[in-house]
Amino acid sequence: GAGVSQSPSNKVTEKGKDVELRCDPISGHTALYWYRQSLGQGLEFLIYFQGNSAPDKSGLPSDRFSAERTGGSVSTLTIQRTQQEDSAVYLCASSLTQKNTGELFFGEGSRLTVL
């Protein structure tokens, strides 16, 4: 497809389980971002990739969260030992270059519910 693709669109898991969320950015986009949107909250920055490297991991809320990007394309966000406060919509976005244009293209998100 032409847009940013995220999977799964919905994930329900039990507390303590690990989850993986996948993001497939727009082809050719070198920058990739993960944000989290909690109920009633704004968008919280998690991590940013330029190519395969992550120069900015400042937003990851704890060491249970990790992300990787391989081949400069697909990225996975992994949450280990999930907690109820991890319930949120996880949004992925990509942009064409690192250059500071601010135009990000977002996917529809992965809604995570931790029971």
Partner 1 sequence: GDSVTQMEGPVTLSEEACLTINCTYTATGYPSLFWYVQYPGEGLQLLLKATKADDKGSNKGFEATYRKETTSFHLEKGSVQVSDSAVYFCALMAWAGNMLTFGGGTRLMVKP
Contact flag: residue 77 with partner 1 (CB under 8 A): no
Cα(50)–Cα(61) distance, rounded to whole angstroms? Answer: 20
Structure tokens given for 4 = 């940013």
Contact flag: residue 98 with partner 1 (CB under 8 A): yes
Candidate ranges 12-20, 60-68, 74-82, 99-107; the one touching partner 1 (CB under 8 A): 99-107
Structure tokens given for 29 = 């986009």
User: What is the identity of the amino acid at 7?
Assistant: S
Contact flag: residue 96 with partner 1 (CB under 8 A): no
User: What is the identity of the amino acid at 89?
Assistant: V
* 84 φ, ψ (degrees, to nearest 5): -60, -30
Residue (14 or 102) nearer to partner 1, CB:
102
- Per CB under 8 A, contacts with partner 1 among 20-59 are 31, 33, 35, 40-43, 45, 48, 50, 55-56
